[in-house]
Amino acid sequence: MAQRDNKKRLGKKHRQASTRPKKGRAPRATPTTGAVDPRKRKVLSTKRAAVDKASRVTKQSPEREKRKAIRGDEPVRTPKGTPPRSKPVRPADGIVGRQTPRSENVAGHERIDQEDWRDVELLASQMVTGTESADARELPLIAVCGRPNVGKSTLFNRLTGSRRSIVGDEPGITRDRIYGEIEWMGREARIVDTGGVVPDDEALIPTEIFRQAQVALEEANAIVMVVDGRTELASPDLELARLLLRGGKPVFLAVNKMDTDAMNAGAENFRRLGFRNVLPISAEHGSGIGDLLDEVFDVLPEPEEVIEEPEIMLTENDEAEEDADGPDFSVAAGASVATGASVAAGASTNPAAKRVRRLRSHGEYESRETKVAIIGRPNVGKSTLLNALTGTQRAIVSPIAGTTRDAVDEVVERDGHAFRFVDTAGIRRKGKTKLMAEKLSVIMARKHLEAADVSLLIIDAAEGVAAADANIGGSAHESGRSVIIVINKWDLMTRTGKDGMRLFDGKPPADQKLYEQEVRDKLKYLEYAPLLFISAADGKNIEQVFKKVELVARERRKRVTTGQMNRFLEKVDFQKASVPMNKRVRIYYMTQAAVAPPTFVLFTDKDIRMHFSFERFLGNQIRENFGFIGSPIWFKIKARNKKKQE
């Protein structure tokens, strides 16, 4: 008889449950260090460390771990002996025109280098957004020209004492004309930096750069041609030298990158270009700059003396009238409040004299010019609009996105008002910018926006409002700039063919009211901004841009007295504001503390942050009563009993 097993037979249910815990005390998987012989503790600790390290080794594929490292989750840990596997190429990845998803698993995607962006932001913090003054147009002009990547922008920044022009190792960074001012030995002059000139290049952008350089050379009184002293003469140098010799203007050849005195002798090899004045310089280190300026200023004409018109202070009555009716630019109003000292200094009372903008007596002043920044995504028509506003071909226009890099500005005077329009580079996402010049141009575009008074947010009518447009508009709103929404290329949406459909896409023509409502729905935070439909290429509705800019600039500097604000508070029904009870505040009184943008100080019973819905409600009530068209309104809270609580 077979010997019977001592184990108790289990039913079917229990046999399937292999993970069922056994009765009694569970055995330890690995002994602890303190439970073994002291002589074996070191060996056991080493084994446990090896087990922990093996458990941390990833069990995922190397491609997935690489994507996690790109996202910044954790470092890559690939087990030893694992061969690298290449990601299979999908059939749809190479289709032209297919918009592949922007994710880490798309072939060819490159990691965004945050260190490069930090370096670019540091460089942008050292650059300036200042432009030449309107009074400097009467000064003599010096033009800096040469082929690409010879150091023209570096020399321009050295002479102006600023970092106005973008400098980099990439050739062809500068494209438009960049103007600045220079002072040497008590004399002043203007200087213009041009793009790299390649006369024989028939491509679109090099041709436009050459055209812009020709404009600068024609209006210049003296020309500085820059060549690279470390390289041999190239064909663009020879072609440009022939053009300059035919012009008949004084030309100075600056042999750049001669960093040491031993290299100065090599500058004599460039005399075969035919120039008499050959000067070795180093724009990076500043050597030879003084000799160059001495010779250049010797041939410049002496500027005529300009008598500056005095600034006439306003009285309290004049300020009240200006708050009600806007600034008064008439000479009669200015002469009525002129002091004896201003008349003795040469203030003219002739009605035919130039009109003067009057200054406020309490510190705030009416600026002599309104700075307008033209912002938007790449290739929406910003440069075309600048040319249409100025009536010139000031900026290079091309269908290639990202053509503008340096900010281009131009002053336009209309009806006694001076407008400085600044064409900025197209603002795009960080992942869309690869070159250093593109990254720097995006950062500088935002800096020019913060330095402006009014911003023109350009939107392509054919593409509609994109997420990037909302992001750019949000930057203008948060920085306190007045905003005007400009829908460009509206002619494409209304121009129809014989069949009644649009020419460019074959769809029915767009309705302006419906389109405006769609824009308002996507840009709700800019409900205070005026909206214009224009066509910069055809010049339609350009006059409306000047009127809206003048209106918004005046509303931006409007001031409301404290008495008016208190009477306004008595009429407001704050029960209509949808605010939680714990966020409600009682306003005792409020006053306008500043202009541009309008800033109001609220004296309340609680020192808490104002709820966004209450801020929106109060801002809408202020706009209904006092206007402030196109300008954001800021609020500051001061609690009356704050000191008692402390």
Q: Are 240 and 225 in contact (CB under 8 A)?
A: yes
How far apart (Å, rounded) are the C-alpha atoms in residues 332 and 179?
Answer: 36
Predicted pLDDT of residue 295: 94
Report the b/e string of 578-591 with b at 16+ CB within 10 A: ebeeeebbebeebb
Helix (H, G, I), strand (E, B) or coil at 374: strand
How far apart (Å, rounded) are the C-alpha atoms in residues 57 and 76?
Answer: 10
Q: Cα separations (Å) of 413 from 192, 416, 417?
A: 21, 6, 5
Report the b/e string of 314-351 with b at 16+ CB within 10 A: beeebbeebbeeebbeebebbbeebeeebeeeebbeee
For residue 365, the cross-strand partners are 359
Rounded to 10 deg, the angle between the 542-556 and 382-390 helix axes is 90
Predicted pLDDT of residue 640: 75
Domains and CATH numbers, the chain: 129-299 (3.40.50.300), 312-358 (no CATH), 370-556 (3.40.50.300), 562-645 (3.30.300.20)
Range list of H helices, 31-105: 41-56, 62-71
Eight-class DSSP state of 196? P
Predicted pLDDT of residue 261: 86
Predicted pLDDT of residue 133: 65
Predicted pLDDT of residue 264: 87
Q: Are 595 and 629 in contact (CB under 8 A)?
A: no
Predicted pLDDT of residue 605: 87
Predicted pLDDT of residue 312: 53
Tell me how crowded residue 226 is: count the other CB atoms within 10 A of its CB.
Answer: 26
Predicted pLDDT of residue 342: 38
How far apart (Å, rounded) are the C-alpha atoms in residues 307 and 267?
Answer: 44
Predicted pLDDT of residue 159: 92
What string of H, E and C letters represents the secondary structure of 16-48? Answer: HCCCCCCCCCCCCCCCCHHHCCHHHHHHHHHHH
CA 238 to chain centre: 37
Predicted pLDDT of residue 632: 94
Cis peptide before 597 (omega within 30 of 0): yes
Predicted pLDDT of residue 70: 38
Walk along the chain (646 residues) in steps of 10 and give the mean pLDDT of each run.
53 52 56 62 80 66 46 44 46 36 41 61 64 72 93 92 78 84 92 87 82 92 94 89 91 93 87 92 93 94 64 54 47 38 38 40 55 94 94 87 86 89 89 76 88 95 93 93 96 89 87 94 94 94 94 94 92 84 84 93 87 89 93 90 54
